Amino acid sequence: MSVTTLSSPALAQRQPNWIVRLFDYKPFLIAMCLAPALGLLAVFLTYPLGLGVWLAFTDTTIGRRGIFVGLENFQYLLTDPLWWNAVFYSVFYTAIATFGKFALGFWLALLLNNHFPFKSVLRAIVLLPWIVPTVLSALAFWWIYDPQFSIISYLLVDVLHWRSSNIDFLGSPWPARFSLIAANIWRGIPFVAISLLAGLQTISPSLYEAAMLDGASAWQRFRYITFPMMMPILAIVMTFSIIFTFTDFQLVYAITRGGPVNSTHLLATLAFQRGIAGGELGEGAAIAVSMIPFLVFATLFSYFGLARRKWQQGEAND
Amino acid sequence: MTDAVAQGSSVTKAAPDTMAWDSGLRRLMMIYLPLGCFVLILLFPFYWMAITSFKPNAELMNYKDHNPFWISSPTLAHIKHLLFDTAYPRWLKTTMLVAIGSTTLSLIASTLAAYAIERLRFRGSPYVGLGIYLAYLVPPSILFIPLATVVVQFGLFDSPLALILVYPTFLVPFCTWLLIGYFKSIPYELEECALVDGATRLQILRRITLPLAVPGLISAGIFSFTLSWNEFIYALAFIQSGANKTVPVAILTELVTGDVYQWGALMAGSLLGSLPVAIFYSLFVDYYVSSLTGAVKE
């Protein structure tokens, strides 16, 4: 602070240009620096968020300004079996996919944390499913799940002779639900693995040495060193993963579009179908707003994860 | 098999912190085998995508006479169909324009914001930072319906400009957090020296802070580029006409026609749509990894 006051007079002497002086005036400079980012976020994020909540209480359709109808949209949703179905599948999808992603991703991170040749190449390959546009890899899964020419069915029926008929992946509700979850896990593993690997690499090896000297087994080292040390980063990555799995849209839209018989609708795809495709903006917005309580819950989870990190590490670290 | 074992034991010797009980066979079973399975499963959809796009239709639909894992007579017909019979080059151009435009916009906005939050240090700057972080937690799925009405109000419906303006909503929070981390790592003393020497704040940003933050800017830039290339829901909701669509949306909505899916063309489209980001990715792998992990650690 004192530095600024010291330098300003010197500057004013040398450069009498008022524009330069204005840009060196701190409050103005701060405002100028924050304006583009906050402006963009206010117009295209905060305002639509508020507008979305407002739309949820109106009966707006495409091309017609709606009027305020109170809780009517939500009352309707509560009696709508499709909405309940979407809530159920969103929660189910998030729960199973998150569990799968973290179990497999953590395992992969532990594997990648070993010493072996071509490690960086392998790490690059592992991240590939996350880099490629989700819709395009979803199309590949659609083709893999083809009822007639599925390569998995071919392997099981013609090569291994484990089954006598092709698997109908997307034709009936439960197989379709699990097929989508499998595709989501496939796509989520890289992000989880690489993030957790970064966390693993920050754990000091001396902790493991000390535990080995005390005679801790491999499982004990994992349970009492790796796992507690990974808790903070696990909490953050998991919050992100839960939020973006719960609000997932692309995979379901690309592979099943909510079918068969609306059994695989997530809240986001249902909102799209009603709001944009069907033109009922008010109702679509209500469906989208109904996701918010779940997201708030996940964010609070993240907040407490962060608080825990500060408490754990003290102030010496970071 | 023996190769891997030999490799494993040589690594054991080379790395002193590997445990003594870590015999070669154990390493093979516990590390290389599961790793191999992971890589196989993670890469298989891409292999399948690639191989399908070069297969003639006769082979695609006949697993009895042709081994489905290989191509007996590769063909470029699907690629040719995609490049010359569809608007693919047009979609590619639009996507490129949108990705570059939104990346540039977000980089400028987030560099300035990160500099203000981390270096200009005003009262409440941590709260502004927290607010921007919270913006990252708002998923596009709850925003696209009201955003569609906003885009219509602004008269930007069906225009790539809408996407350029809307993508920063998820790019700016990410880039700002990444850059705050980078600015933190640059010693503040450098700026103080410059201030004492009579440099203005903007000169400091341009001559000292930005050149030192170049790795962070590259990370943020390529990451934003990839995210905007892959974005789907906004592009689907805001763009109507076939010519203005982005690659991911166009391949799903324009190539899926009728009841019989043209799997060859679809997979060729997916392959060509993925290749630009994949190539980009292969050039900047380390930046991706560092930005991904950096953002998480922040």
User: Which range among A310-314, B123-127, B277-281 shows the weakest confidence by mean pLDDT?
Assistant: A310-314
Whether residue B258 is predicted with pLDDT greater than 80 in this model: the reply is no
A38 vs B16, more confident: A38
Token couple for B171: 């790019």
The predicted pLDDT at position B8 comes to: 40
- Of B228, B230, B258, B253, give the one whose Cα is nearest residue B243: B253
Find the closest chain B residue to A145 by CA distance: B45
- Residue A64, strand partner residues: A61
Q: What distance in Å separates the CA atoms of residue A85 and residue A62, rounded to the nearest whole number?
A: 25
- Residue A61, strand partner residues: A64
Whether residues A37 and B285 touch (CB distance < 8 A) is answered with no
Whether residue A178 is predicted with pLDDT greater than 90 in this model: the reply is yes
Task: Closest CB to A281: pick one of B149, B192, B293.
Answer: B149
Express each pLDDT in B74-95 by its tens digit.
888 888 888 888 888 899 999 9
- Where does the pLDDT of residue A3 fall: very low under 50, low under 70, confident under 90, or very high at 90 and above? very low
B24 vs B136, more confident: B136
CB–CB of B217/A29 below 8 Å? no
Whether residue A270 is predicted with pLDDT greater than 90 in this model: the reply is yes
Tokens 């006409």 found at: B241
**Averaging pLDDT over each range in A157-171, B106-120, B181-195, which range is the top one?**
B106-120
> Rg of chain A's alpha carbons, rounded to an integer?
26
Q: Averaged over B147-154, what is the pLDDT? A: 90
- Of B48, B266, B30, give the one whose Cα is nearest residue A183: B48
Exposure on the CB side of residue B126, measured as CA atoms within 13 A: 0
Q: What distance in Å separates the CA atoms of residue A138 and residue A157, rounded to the nearest whole number?
A: 24
User: Which range among A91-100, A221-230, B55-64 shows the weakest confidence by mean pLDDT?
Assistant: B55-64
Whether residue A164 is predicted with pLDDT greater than 70 in this model: the reply is yes
Whether residues B128 and A267 touch (CB distance < 8 A) is answered with no
Task: Closest CB to B109: pick one of A11, A37, A289.
Answer: A37
Token couple for B293: 């992990």
Find the closest chain B residue to A9 by CA distance: B198
CB–CB of B277/B230 below 8 Å? yes
DSSP, collapsed to helix, strand or coil, labels residue B250 as helix
Per CB-CB distance under 8 Å, the chain B contacts of A40 are 105, 109, 165, 168-169, 172
The predicted pLDDT at position B10 comes to: 41
Whether residue A70 is predicted with pLDDT greater than 70 in this model: the reply is yes
Q: Averaged over B144-163, what is the pLDDT? A: 91
Cβ within 8 Å of residue B40, ≥6 positions away: none
Per CB-CB distance under 8 Å, the chain B contacts of A20 are 200
The predicted pLDDT at position B183 comes to: 87
Token couple for A30: 């701060």
The predicted pLDDT at position B212 comes to: 87
Cβ within 8 Å of residue B73, ≥6 positions away: B56, B59
Whether residue B107 is predicted with pLDDT greater than 90 in this model: the reply is yes
Per CB-CB distance under 8 Å, the chain B contacts of A244 are 139
Question: Quick one: angle between helices B33-53 and A173-201, nearest 10?
Answer: 120
Whether residues A34 and B42 touch (CB distance < 8 A) is answered with no
Omega before A260 within 30 of 0, i.e. cis: yes
Express each pLDDT in A283-299 by its tens digit.
999 999 999 998 888 77
Percent of chain B with pLDDT over 70: 90
The predicted pLDDT at position B166 comes to: 93
Q: What distance in Å separates the CA atoms of residue A4 and residue B200, rounded to the nearest whole number?
A: 10
Cβ within 8 Å of residue A118, ≥6 positions away: none
Q: Which of residues 93-152 of A touch B (CB under 8 A)?
A: 104, 107-108, 111-112, 114-117, 120, 122-129, 131-137, 139-141, 143-144, 146, 149, 151
Whether residue B213 is predicted with pLDDT greater than 90 in this model: the reply is no
Find the closest chain B residue to A298 by CA distance: B137
Greatest alpha-carbon span in chain B: 79
CB–CB of B79/B272 below 8 Å? yes
Q: With an 8 Å Cβ cutoff, is A52 touching chain B?
A: yes
Q: How far is CA B67 from CA A142, A266, B49, B73, B78, in A?
A: 20, 37, 16, 12, 20
Task: Closest CB to A52: pick one of B143, B249, B251.
Answer: B143
Q: What distance in Å separates the CA atoms of residue A146 and residue A169, rounded to the nearest whole number?
A: 7
Q: Average pLDDT over chain B, rounded to whole?
A: 83
Percent of chain A with pLDDT over 90: 40
Express each pLDDT in A135-153 by its tens digit.
999 999 999 998 888 888 8
Percent of chain B with pLDDT over 90: 27
Q: What distance in Å separates the CA atoms of residue A249 and residue B144, rounded to the nearest whole number?
A: 11
Per CB-CB distance under 8 Å, the chain B contacts of A4 are 195
Exposure on the CB side of residue A58, measured as CA atoms within 13 A: 16
ipTM above 0.90, yes or no: no
- Where does the pLDDT of residue A158 fall: very low under 50, low under 70, confident under 90, or very high at 90 and above? confident
Tokens 């390529």 found at: B222
A157 vs A268, more confident: A268
pTM of the model: 0.85
Q: What distance in Å separates the CA atoms of residue B161 and residue B180, rounded to the nearest whole number?
A: 28
Q: What distance in Å separates the CA atoms of residue A26 and residue B122, rounded to the nearest whole number?
A: 9
For residue A32, give how far its alpha carbon lies from the nearest alpha carbon of chain B (Å): 8
User: Which range among A11-20, B101-110, B206-215 shows the weakest confidence by mean pLDDT?
Assistant: A11-20
A316 vs A295, more confident: A295
The predicted pLDDT at position A309 comes to: 54
The predicted pLDDT at position A62 comes to: 82
The predicted pLDDT at position A268 comes to: 93
Token couple for B40: 């196989």
Q: What distance in Å separates the CA atoms of residue B117 and residue B145, rounded to the nearest whole number?
A: 31
Q: Averaged over A199-215, what is the pLDDT? A: 90
Q: Average pLDDT over chain A, rounded to whole?
A: 85
Per CB-CB distance under 8 Å, the chain B contacts of A197 are 293
The predicted pLDDT at position A311 comes to: 45
Q: How many CB atoms lie within 10 A of CB A226?
A: 18
Greatest alpha-carbon span in chain A: 90
The predicted pLDDT at position A161 comes to: 81
The predicted pLDDT at position A1 comes to: 44
Q: What distance in Å separates the CA atoms of residue B234 and residue A34, rounded to the nearest whole number?
A: 25
Say how many residues make up chain A.
Answer: 318
Question: Quick one: angle between helices B88-115 and B247-254, nearest 10?
Answer: 140
